[in-house]
Amino acid sequence: MTQNEHTMFRPPAEAGSALIRVADGCPHNSCAFCAMYRGVAYRVHDQAAVSRNIALAAARDPDARRIFLADGDVLALPATMLETILETTRAAFPRLSRVNCYASGQALAGKSDAELERLRQKGLHTLYLGLESGSGEVLRRMAKGGTVREMIDGCLRAQNAGLTVSVMVLVGLGGQELSAMHARQTAEALNAMQPSLLSCLRLVPIAGTVLARRIADGSFTELTEEQSVRELRDILLGLELARTVFRADHSSNILPLAGRLPRDKVRLLGELSELLESGALDRNTPGAMPGLL
């Protein structure tokens, strides 16, 4: 597989978007649980290559209204380059309404308020931010990079600039040892962020990762199926969100859930409690593990 042939990842919500690669890999690429860009050297494409990719995408789908820029943490690109990319996409796609990308806390910290505002004005719409956990200890053990404070502040600054932030959380990332801390501090971080969109996915170990090796050697104990549902309920129970679209309907989730918070909080908690009380969940193992999309 050559550098240009590696898989292009995108969030589930971007299934209908035109995908345009502007960089290879991820500038961090050290998370213990992630294998998305394993073996891919990080490289930002030059403007000529980006322009070619935009032109090819426009030829394939000239009426595209949404674009997702790949690869990981595209917001880490220099602001001036991102502005040029957004201007080029707007010119190439006459019906374009929004451009979205992955972002990290570090990338957000590296952008000024004025830069975030200019990017929004030029068409950047949604940033996908992997909080993963609100616990600094969990993030440290998972070599996530950056801090919870960076992600909270970055989310608030981006939203103040008019951008939409979709925050992702991994249920089970603390394992059995740190489950209570992970649930409590993740809810606290989300309450501070007040994200427009929130997605809770279940941790699915990927072969070849540091996390998979820890599971194999016994230094990390996964949550059982029942514990995963209980942890999700604990996170949801701790949320005090004023206006957030909530989803836990990824293929990794045991029970598909979706709603708006705070309106649907009681219903969602009831569905999780009903499942926990049903006796249908595996109390000894994580149960069936689907592949990630």
**12 within 8 A of 166, measured Cβ to Cβ:** no
Residue 291 has pLDDT above 80, yes or no: no
- Please name each of the domains of the chain with its CATH number: 11-278 (3.20.20.70)
Strands 257-261 and 244-248, by their bridges, are antiparallel
Supply the pLDDT for residue 292.
41
Strands 43-44 and 23-24, by their bridges, are antiparallel
Supply the pLDDT for residue 97.
97
Does pTM surpass 0.85?
yes
Neighbouring residues of 219: CB distance < 8 A, sequence distance ≥ 6: none
pLDDT in tens, 229-256: 999 999 999 999 999 999 999 999 999 9
Q: Tally helices (H) and strands (E) across the chain.
A: 10, 10
* Span 116-139, average pLDDT: 98
**From the CB of residue 169, how many other CB atoms can be counted at a distance below 10 Å?**
24
CA separation for the pair 221, 21 (Å, rounded)? 36
Neighbouring residues of 200: CB distance < 8 A, sequence distance ≥ 6: 168, 169, 171, 232, 235, 236, 246, 247, 248, 253
Residue 293 — pLDDT band, cuts 50, 70, 90? very low
Neighbouring residues of 88: CB distance < 8 A, sequence distance ≥ 6: 50, 51, 54
Task: Catalogue the E-assigned strands of 133-268.
Answer: 164-171, 197-202, 244-248, 257-261
Neighbouring residues of 101: CB distance < 8 A, sequence distance ≥ 6: 68, 69, 70, 74, 75, 124, 127, 128
**From the CB of residue 255, how many other CB atoms can be counted at a distance below 10 Å?**
16
pLDDT in tens, 273-285: 999 999 999 999 9
